[in-house]
Each structure stands twice: as C-alpha cells, then as structure tokens.
Structure 1
Amino acid sequence: MKLQKLLFILFLSVLTLSAAAQTESQLRRKKEAIQREIEQLQKNLNKTASGKKLTIQQINTINAQIRLRQDKIGTINSEIKNLDNQISQNTNTVHTLQGQLGDLKKEYAGMIRFAQRNRNSYDKMMFIFAAKDFNQAYKRIKYLQQFSQYRKKQAGYIENTQQDLNGKIKVLDKTLREKSDLLKEQERERERLGKNKNEQAVVLNQLSKQEKQFKQDINSRKKQQAQIDAAIKAAIQRAIEAARRKAIEEARIAAAKAAAEAKAAADKARAENRPVPTAPTAPTAKAKSTSELLTATPEAARLSAGFENNRGRLPWPVATGTITERFGLHKVDLASYTNDGIDITTADGAAVRAVFAGKVAAVQVVMGRTVVLINHGEYFTVYQNLRSVNVSVGNSVDTKQTIGVVANTGDDAVLKFQIRRGQAALNPEAWISK
C-alpha cells in the first residue's frame, strides 16, 4: 500500500510538472515575441529621433513600447507564479519522499534485526522442523524464501526512493535559480519601463511646444482619413446596391416565370373546354435588410458564416508587426480623432495578406494612398496604405494570399486595417489571432 501511494504521488508530480513545462514554454515564447516587437519599435524610433518635427507615429510608437513593456512584465509575473507553483509542488513531493524513505528504512531495519536474530542455519531448521505437519513446514520454508526476496525488494525501494529524492532536490534547486533570474529580469524591465515613461514625458513636453503645428497635422490627417473612409463606405454601398439590384432582378424573373406558367395553364384549360384556373396572386416583394442582401447567394452566405466562425482566429494582414494605434477615439493633448481600424507598424516592404477568402470589391487610390476592399459575404476587410497591389476588382482571393506591399508613411511602414459588417466598423483586435 505504501508503494502504491508513493507511485501515485510520483505520477501526479510528473503530470503537474509536464503541464507546468508546457505553460512555461508558452510564456517564454510570448515573452520573446514581445521583446522582438519592442526591438523593432526601438529601431523605428531611432530612425525618427533626429527629426525636429514631432509626429503622431512617434507618439504612437512610444505608447506602444510602454504597453508592450507592461505586457512583458505581466508575462514575467506569470512565469514567476508558474515557478512558485512548481516550487510548492516539488517541496511537497520532497517532504513526501523523505517521509516514505524514513518509513522504508524503519521497516528495513526491523527486517535486519529479525534476520540477525535468526541468522544461523540451525535456527531456521528448528523453525521448519517445529511445524506440526508437512503442510505447515512447507509454508514456513516458503515464508523464509519470500522474506529474503522481500528484504531485497525493500532495499531496492529504498535506493530508488533515494534517487527520486535527490532528483527532486536538484529540480527544486534549478527552479529556485530560475525564479531568481526572473526576478532580476523583472527588475531590469521595470527600469526600462521607467525610461520609456521618461521619453513619453519628454515627447509630451515637446508636444506642448509644437501644439499649433501638431493640431494642424491632426486636422490634415482627419481630413485625409475622412475622404478615405468616405470612399470605403461608397464602395461598400455600391456592393450593397449591386446585391439589391440583383435581388430585384431575380424577383422580377421569378414573377415573370410565374405569370407565364399561369397563362399557359389558362390557355390549356380553354383549349380543353375546362374552367380557367384563377391565377395566383403575386407575392408582395418584401424589402430585404443589408445582411440578407449580402448573404443572398449560397457562396456569400458560406463566406459570411466562415468569417464569423473564425472570430479571434483570423491571421494578421502582415506576417510580423505591432499594433501602434488601436481602434476608436484617440486624444493627444487637446486634439482628438477616431480610428475605424488599427494601425500595424511592420517591416519595410512587408507583404500584405488577405485575412480570409473573399472577392476583391474595390481597388482605389485616395489622397495618394492605395486602398483594397475585400468582400466576405456580409463582412468587408479594408487594407489601406499600400505601395503596390497585385489584385484587381472581381478577383477571388484565398486566406493569407498576398494582395500587395505596404507603403512607408514618413519613416515607418504602417498598414491601416479595418473590418466592417456592412457599413459598421468593428474592432479588428477582436477578430485577428492574439
């Protein structure tokens, strides 16, 4: 029973450590990915640091660095918590093994004392011959044999338990060292976060000195983005109207077919001198919603359902990048503006990819920026700020298919990405993978 208990404890320990190792590996990969994003943003900042004029992109980059640094500290905290759980588990296992080892040694000592008292062959022979019959004598012989074998097994159990105990102590020491290293790394990241916040304070101070110029830049940006968004909405509306015209035409064809069938039935009845059947009343055409129009065909309905089912799992529109401006309202000092999507800062010359299968609904150049609109049934994805495009209106695209190359805005390659349901703008961060 004690052996079974020991094996059960070791089994649970192995399962716990296996799960912990998996979590530890995931956290390490996440931390490394965050660090790569921070380094890329720092390269972008170094390029723009010499410029005297402050830009929105610089502010966004510094803010993104601070956010990523905070995420990294949070990941380190999760690693430390994970190690604390491992330390607690290993400590409990060590104490259990020490207790089991003590019990095994006590039992083994008792067997040794018994063997010492009955160590000569004469005592064993007397023990056997003192049996009242042959059956009892046979059982006593088997008992002595089994006792000898059990003593050897018990010695093996003690040796194995001692090895397990030594192994767990080594793992515990290694985990404690890892925790110490993580605590040092956490402290370094806190210092770097402090430096980032100091940079932010310097930028905000610089912003107050360039307030007039900065407000002009924001107003110019708002005007430019308003024209682009208007063009996007117009393209979506054209797709909706095309679907509406198609639905009206299909209804007209269906009504004409029904009328022709009714006329043919009436002519046949007259020729056969039968009562002419009453023509069925044409159903009143019901106005369809935008959602119904955009998912009217089986293909469009399938695309729309597939897009919706992949919420939170859609691939990024670029292979690598960092979100430097988020969805919604943004305030910089006294100025404010709204972003209907997200800005992703990526590498120079990065390929832009479709996040889901669909059909290209528009390719336009507005205010010097190339925009691609892809229709996914009821949903649309918008890829703005492309330098070159290799798709045309009407082309079908697959998930992750390259549709163009991102352009540089100032000193950074920034893709502006939107997701819309009809005309309504949605937060892309809720749709793309984490």
Structure 2
Amino acid sequence: MKLQKLLFILFLSVLTTSAVAQTESQLRRKKEAIQREIEQLQKNLNKTANGKKLTIQQINTINAQIRLRQDKIGTINSEIKNLDNQISQNTNTVHTLQGQLGDLKKEYAGMIRFAQRNRNSYDKMMFIFASKDFNQAYKRIKYLQQFSQYRKKQAGYIESTKQDLDGKIKVLDKTLREKSDLLKEQEKERERLSKDKSKQAVELNKLSKDEKQFRQDISSRKKQQAQIDRAISAAIQRAIEEARRKAAEEARRKAAEEARIAAAKAKAENKPAPATPPTPTAKAKSTSELLTATPETARLSAGFENNRGRLPWPVATGTITERFGLHKLDQASYTNDGVDITTTDGAAVRAVFAGKVAAVQVMMGRTVVLINHGEYFTVYQNLKSVSVSVGNSVDTKQTIGVVANTGDDAVLKFQIRRGQAALNPEAWISK
C-alpha cells in the first residue's frame, strides 16, 4: 500500500510538471513576442530625429510601447504565479518522499534486526527439515525465498525513492533560481515602464504647447479619413447594389421559366395560353440576405464568422499602435473605424480570409484595397503598391500589396465591416 501510494504521488507529480512546463513554454513565447514588438517600436522611435516635429504617430507609438510593457509585466507575473504553484507542489512532493523514505528505512532496519536476532536460533535447513510433510517444507522454502527477495526489493525501493527525492530537490532549487531571475526581470521592466511613462508625459507636454498645430493635424487627418471612408462606403454600396441586381435578375429568370413551362403545358392540353404575368417585383431583402444570396457567398460569410478571434494578421509582424474607436489628444478628438498596425518597412500586406477583391482605389497617393467575404468586408488602407485587381479571387494569407510609410513608420490601416457597419478588428484577428 505504501508503495502504491508513493507511485501514485510520483505519477501526479509527473503530470503536474508536464502541464506546468507547457504553460511556462506558452508564457515564455508570449513574453518573447511582446519583447520583439517593443524593440521594433523603439527602432521606429529612434529613427525620429530629436529636433523633429512631434507627430500623432509618435505619441501612438509611445502609448503602444507602454501598453506592451504592461502586458509583459503581466506575463511575468503569470510566470511567477506558475512557479509559485510549482514550488508549492514540489515542496509537498519532497516532504512526502522524505516521509516515505523514512518509513522504508525503518521497515528495512526492522527486517535486518529480525534476521540478525534469528540468525543463530534457526538454521535454514533445520527449519525446512522440521516440516511435517512435503507441502509444508515447500511452503517454508518459498517463504525463505520471498523474505530474501522482499529485502532486496525494499533496498531497491529505498534507492529509487532517494533518487526521486534528490531529483525533486534539484528541480525545486532550479525553480527557486528561475523565480529569482523573473523577479529581477520584473523589476527591470517596471523601471523601463516608469521611463516610458516619463517620456509620455514629456511628449504630451509638447503636445499641449503645440495645441494649435495638433488641432490642425487632427482636422486634416479627419478630412482625409472621411474622404477615404466615403469611398469605402460607396464601394460597399456598389457591391450591395450589384447583389440586388443579380437577385432581381434571378427572380425575373425564374418567373420567365415558370411562364414558359405553363405555356408548354397549356399547349400540350390544347388550352389557351395563360396571360403573360407581370414582371415580378423582387421582395425587399436585407443587406445580409443580399450579400449571402448564393451558396458561395453564404459559405464565405459563415467561414469568416466562424473564424472570429482566429483570423491571421494582415501583416506577418506588427503592433497595433492605434486602436478602434474614439481617440482624444488633449482637447482634440477623432474616431478610427479600424486599427493602425505599425510594421516593418516594405512589409507584405496579406488577405486575412478568402474572398473577392471588390475595389482598388488610389487616394492621396496611397492605395486602398477592399475585399468582399460575403456579408463581411476587409479594408487595407495605406498601400504603396498592390498585386491584385478588382474581381480577383484571393486566398487566406495571399499577398495583395506592400504597406507604405507614413512619416517615419510603415503603418497599415485595417478595417473589418459587416455591410456598412465598422467592427473592432481586435475581436477578429488572432491574439
């Protein structure tokens, strides 16, 4: 029973260690990915000369850097919490193994003392020959053999338990060192976060001094974006009207086919031909019904929706430096119908899902690509070159162009829309 209990404890320990190792690996990968994003943002900031005019993009980059630094600290906290759990579990296992080892040693010592005391009292051969019959003699031989084997097994159990105990103590020491390293790393990240916040305060102070200039910049940005958003809405409306036209044509085709069948039936029955029915009026359909009217578009919509939270990023590497929704800078404000993703110079822009290119438009020297996914649309704004044209079918992760530089950074403006309604892309792309 003691041996079974010991093996059960060791089995649970192995399972727990495996699960913790997997979680640690995931957290480590997440932390490394965050660090890569922070370093890329820092490179972008370093490219800006000290005396250069402050831009909205710079402020967004600093804010994103702070957010990432906070995420990294949170990830380190999760690592420390996992290590604390692992330390607690390993400590309990060590105590259990120590207790089991003590019990095994006591039991083994008792067996040795028993054998020593009875060494001269019982001669093995006399013990066997004193049996009443052959059956009893056989049982006594088996007893002596089993007693000897059990002593050897007990010695093996003691050695095995001691090795497991030594191994767990080494793991515990290693975990404690890892926790110490993580605490040091956490402290460094807190210092860096403090510096980033100080930098943010300095830049926001500059913004207050240049309030008039920033108001003009934001006003100009809002006008440009409004013009682009109108073009996007018009392109989406054209796609809706095209779907409506096709639905009306299909209704007319069905009505004509029904009329032809009715006329043929009347002729076969020598009856007068039925009156020509009036041109059917298509039943009013919602935008959703129009955009998912065919099996192909219905499948695209369903596939897009089923991948909510798992869509690939429109660039291979990047950081969201401006989020969806309303933004305020000092007294000025503006709305972003998507997200701004800062990436590397010359980064390829990829379709996040299979679909058909609905529009390719050049506005203010930058290209906008609109891809239709049934009821959904994705918008890729601020491209310097494109490799697709209207009507092309694209696959998931297919390159559609190259991102352009905005000021000092390569920034892709990315939107997701359901019909005309703008959705938050962060809820749709993978974390």
Which bin holds the TM-score, normalised by the shorter protein? Answer: over 0.9
Could you tell me which residue of structure 2 aligns to residue 154 of structure 1? 154
Question: C-alpha deviations, 1:9-56, integer Å up to 9, x for none?
Answer: 101100000010011011111101100100110111111142431110
Provide closer, same or farther for how the CA distance between residues 361 and 8 of structure 1 changes in structure 2, counting only shifts above 3 A. same
Question: CA–CA distance in 2 between the matches of 1:328 and 1:263?
Answer: 55
Provide closer, same or farther for how the CA distance between residues 110 and 217 of structure 1 changes in structure 2, counting only shifts above 3 A. same
Question: CA–CA distance in 2 between the matches of 1:391 and 1:368?
Answer: 17
Q: Unaligned stretches of 5+ in structure 2?
A: none
Question: C-alpha deviations, 1:69-95, integer Å up to 9, x for none?
Answer: 000000000000010111011111101
Q: What is the SS of the residue equivalent to 2:340?
A: strand
The number of aligned residues is 430
Measured after TM superposition, the shift of residue 250 of structure 1 is: 1.4
Whether the aligned pair in 2 keeps the contact of 1:54 and 1:214 (CA below 8 Å) is no
Q: What is the SS of the residue equivalent to 1:277?
A: coil
Provide closer, same or farther for how the CA distance between residues 135 and 264 of structure 1 changes in structure 2, counting only shifts above 3 A. closer
Root-mean-square deviation over aligned CA pairs: 1.9
Q: What is the SS of the residue equivalent to 2:122?
A: helix
Measured after TM superposition, the shift of residue 125 of structure 1 is: 3.0
Question: CA–CA distance in 2 between the matches of 1:371 and 1:343?
Answer: 14
TM superposition score normalised by structure 1: 0.95
Whether the aligned pair in 2 keeps the contact of 1:231 and 1:366 (CA below 8 Å) is no
Q: What is the SS of the residue equivalent to 2:385?
A: strand
Question: CA–CA distance in 2 between the matches of 1:293 and 1:287?
Answer: 10
Q: Unaligned stretches of 5+ in structure 1?
A: none
Question: CA–CA distance in 1 between the matches of 2:137 and 2:277?
Answer: 107
Provide closer, same or farther for how the CA distance between residues 12 and 44 of structure 1 changes in structure 2, counting only shifts above 3 A. same
Provide closer, same or farther for how the CA distance between residues 271 and 119 of structure 1 changes in structure 2, counting only shifts above 3 A. closer
Provide closer, same or farther for how the CA distance between residues 119 and 189 of structure 1 changes in structure 2, counting only shifts above 3 A. same
Provide closer, same or farther for how the CA distance between residues 343 and 258 of structure 1 changes in structure 2, counting only shifts above 3 A. closer
Q: What is the SS of the residue equivalent to 1:413?
A: strand
Question: CA–CA distance in 2 between the matches of 1:22 and 1:416?
Answer: 35
Question: CA–CA distance in 2 between the matches of 1:271 and 1:28?
Answer: 79
Question: C-alpha deviations, 1:150-179, integer Å up to 9, x for none?
Answer: 101110110010000000000000000000
Q: What is the SS of the residue equivalent to 2:123?
A: helix
Could you tell me which residue of structure 2 aligns to residue 200 of structure 1? 200
Deviates more, 1:396-405 or 1:360-369: 360-369
Deviates more, 1:242-251 or 1:134-143: 134-143
Provide closer, same or farther for how the CA distance between residues 371 and 273 of structure 1 changes in structure 2, counting only shifts above 3 A. closer
Question: C-alpha deviations, 1:316-364, integer Å up to 9, x for none?
Answer: 0000000000000000110000000000000000000000111110000
Whether the aligned pair in 1 keeps the contact of 2:255 and 2:280 (CA below 8 Å) is no
Q: What is the SS of the residue equivalent to 2:47?
A: helix
Question: C-alpha deviations, 1:170-222, integer Å up to 9, x for none?
Answer: 00000000000000000000000000000011011111111100110000000
Question: C-alpha deviations, 1:211-243, integer Å up to 9, x for none?
Answer: 100110000000110000010000000110111
Provide closer, same or farther for how the CA distance between residues 212 and 269 of structure 1 changes in structure 2, counting only shifts above 3 A. closer
Could you tell me which residue of structure 2 aligns to residue 64 of structure 1? 64
Measured after TM superposition, the shift of residue 123 of structure 1 is: 2.6
Whether the aligned pair in 2 keeps the contact of 1:83 and 1:179 (CA below 8 Å) is yes
Measured after TM superposition, the shift of residue 275 of structure 1 is: 7.9
Provide closer, same or farther for how the CA distance between residues 43 and 310 of structure 1 changes in structure 2, counting only shifts above 3 A. same
Q: Does 1:430 align with 2:431?
A: no
Provide closer, same or farther for how the CA distance between residues 88 and 276 of structure 1 changes in structure 2, counting only shifts above 3 A. same
Measured after TM superposition, the shift of residue 142 of structure 1 is: 1.1
Provide closer, same or farther for how the CA distance between residues 68 and 266 of structure 1 changes in structure 2, counting only shifts above 3 A. closer
Whether the aligned pair in 2 keeps the contact of 1:6 and 1:100 (CA below 8 Å) is yes
Aligned-pair identity in percent equals 91
Whether the aligned pair in 2 keeps the contact of 1:228 and 1:367 (CA below 8 Å) is no
Whether the aligned pair in 1 keeps the contact of 2:128 and 2:140 (CA below 8 Å) is yes
Deviates more, 1:206-215 or 1:123-132: 123-132
Question: CA–CA distance in 2 between the matches of 1:218 and 1:41?
Answer: 22
Q: What is the SS of the residue equivalent to 1:404?
A: strand
Provide closer, same or farther for how the CA distance between residues 409 and 134 of structure 1 changes in structure 2, counting only shifts above 3 A. same
TM superposition score normalised by structure 2: 0.96
Whether the aligned pair in 2 keeps the contact of 1:317 and 1:354 (CA below 8 Å) is yes
